[in-house]
Amino acid sequence: MTKKLHMAYFSSAGNGGGNKAGSWARTTNGYDWRYPELHQDIARAAERAKFDMVFYADALAASMVYQNSYEHQARAGIMMPVHDPIPIMGVIAAATSRIGMVSTISTSFYPPYMAARVLSTLDHLSRGRMGWNIVTSAQKNAAENMGLEDLPQHDRRYDIAEEYLELCRKLWDSWEPDALVMDREANVFADPAKIHTVDFKGEHFSSRGPLNVSHSPQGYPVIASAGQSPRALEFAGKNSEMTIFIKRTVPEIKEVSGKIRDRAAAVGRDPKSCKVFNVIQPFVGETDSIAHERYQAFRETISAESVLASMSDGLGYDLSTLDRNKPIPPEAFEGSNAMPFAFRSYYQDGKTPTLGEIALDITANYHLTPVGTPEHIVDILEEVAREGDLDGYFLEYAITDYASFVEFVDRVVPEAQRRGLMRSDYTGTTLRHHLNEF
């Protein structure tokens, strides 16, 4: 039986980091990421392809790790500036009718009541198409922007996020589904017996409630998360309806998907109840040679310094101070509140690559990168999903590269639909229905 794939568009409302630095200079003609038309047209294209969702990441600070400055990030356009994705969800909702929308909100800075309120409001405005990507944030600069000295340690942030989500769920449940009566003859707008305070007092958060937004079409947004650390995978297995990671080979993908499903089973969930997505960046051409020429042209635009700057942000350690011809020293991984787990993997099994070798590898192979004709791309997507136990893919292009995304939609998607690998039409109206349809 053919395994259908869930598909999502993945980007942020700003310029990319690492191997997407400088993408602003390659903007598709007629578009500007600062204005609504690009975001609306991306969502319309994704809806035309019958994708499950568009998914927006976020960044709350201009990183000042590399060379203790944001100078290179500003010159190269590395995740600065970045628009708040929450208002963009409303812009997209107004331009579409079926495509789901997922926005990032950090549990380290956003008050739980405000998150519950804005997400419930967007679920109403989209008629049930809203999702929440839960992040805990990793940048010290972001904490300083919010008036804090630093963030709690990595695993502690996930403990806090668990309580945060618990409170949000209680707030979403504070209005019963039929509490909003709007009975004109009886002159009753809402039934107060079906609206409840939450009186929540936890270790980190408290709230009286009730939420001042009624029960939304989905009840609560679809819960998403990302991350590859053991604690991130535990959080996903326990709480998430979908999770995202970036791996490049089938064995790596299968290992991570297996861990997530095992953690879901360990807390009594159906192992398939958390949909597992891997990020990809395809390069499509009418012939294999054309596709490889496009990929090579893309690689030639990547700055090694921009990769190091992005790595520095991910590690929370200034890599400009190191010799590129030597391995990353252990102290770069110690005491970091950032995301060192992905970089530690380079030193497993006795391997000792240099900093320069790691940067080169990330430059060339950051994502699973299918390159070829539409038929070849679909072959890869089908095989990797089957062998790696994936539910689907997050398709990542720089937000400015609308033309490449449309080429995927117009060339690759019809081939996948012809083979029965992607839906040809929606059968429901909510994001949760899209995810649980198959």
Cα angle vertex 165, ends 181, 5, to 5°? 90
Range of the domain at 74: 6-436
Percent over 90 (pLDDT), the chain: 74
Q: Torsions phi, psi of 21, nearest 5?
A: -60, 140
Q: In this structure, is residue 369 part of a structural domain?
A: yes
CB 221 within 8 A of CB 119: yes
CB atoms closer than 10 angstroms to residue 197: 11
The tokens describing 19, both together, are 């191997």
| Dist. CA 319–CA 314, nearest whole Å | 11
| CATH code of the domain containing 413 | 3.20.20.30
Count how many domains the chain has: 1
Q: Torsions phi, psi of 186, nearest 5?
A: -85, -5
Q: In this structure, is residue 16 part of a structural domain?
A: yes
Amino acid at 189: F
Q: In this structure, is residue 129 part of a structural domain?
A: yes
Q: In this structure, is residue 171 part of a structural domain?
A: yes
Sequence-distant (≥ 6) Cβ neighbours of residue 105 within 8 angstroms: 58, 86, 115, 118, 119, 132, 133, 134, 135
pLDDT of residue 335: 64
| Dist. CA 264–CA 251, nearest whole Å | 20
Q: What is the mean pLDDT of each run of 10 residues along the chain (438 residues)?
A: 91 72 79 93 98 95 91 87 95 98 97 98 98 94 92 94 98 97 95 98 97 97 94 96 94 96 97 96 95 90 86 88 91 72 80 88 82 97 97 92 95 98 98 98
**Span 218-274, pLDDT tens digits:** 999 999 999 888 999 999 999 999 999 999 899 999 999 999 999 999 999 999 999
pLDDT of residue 17: 60
| Dist. CA 5–CA 377, nearest whole Å | 13
Q: Which of 81, 75, 96, 78 is nearest to 33 (CA)?
A: 81
pLDDT of residue 14: 81
- Distance, CA of 274 to chain centre: 15
Q: In this structure, is residue 1 part of a structural domain?
A: no
Q: In this structure, is residue 63 part of a structural domain?
A: yes
pLDDT of residue 338: 65
**Span 1-51, pLDDT tens digits:** 678 999 999 998 887 665 566 677 778 889 988 999 999 999 999 999 999
Q: In this structure, is residue 427 part of a structural domain?
A: yes
Amino acid at 288: D
pLDDT of residue 20: 67
Cα angle vertex 44, ends 405, 257, to 5°? 60
pLDDT of residue 162: 98
What count of residues does the chain have?
438
Residue 244 pairs in a beta bridge with: 226, 277
Q: In this structure, is residue 29 part of a structural domain?
A: yes
Sequence-distant (≥ 6) Cβ neighbours of residue 376 within 8 angstroms: 288, 291, 370
pLDDT of residue 302: 81
